[in-house]
Amino acid sequence: MDFNALVQAMTPDTYEKLADAVATGRWADGNVLSDAQKAHSLQLVMAYQAQVLQSEEIFTVGANGQLVQKSKAELKKQFETQPSIARFSHDDL
């Protein structure tokens, strides 16, 4: 199985477990990741985010492996279409 096929076959649960392991440096059972495990897991997490999730976050990894950063105009447009957040003045509190 090649790398891209592996990423496409990965389940969301597996992605979450790998992402948690990379973030904490430990597997779910408490064992510490080796440097090689951390590097490979991070590579899989980034590839999954780029190929499967296609995240709406400000900074993401694109399908071509390059870092994608949204412009201020793109972010403003994105937030205009989302429901507004509650806003209060000082006297309302």
Q: Measure the CA dihedral 60/68/5/36, to 10°.
A: -60
- DSSP structural state of residue 25: S
Residue 64 · residue 47 · CB < 8 Å: no
Average pLDDT, the chain: 79
Name which of 72, 71, 66, 74 is nearest 46 in CA terms. Answer: 66
Domain count, the chain: 1
Structure tokens at 39: 């590097």
Domain containing residue 49 = 3-92
pLDDT value of residue 73: 76
Phi, psi of 61 (to 5 degrees): -100, 125
Amino acid at 91: D
pLDDT value of residue 17: 92
For the segment 49-70, what is each residue's pLDDT rounded down to a tens digit?
Answer: 878 876 555 566 665 666 666 6
Above pLDDT 90, what percent of the chain?
Answer: 28
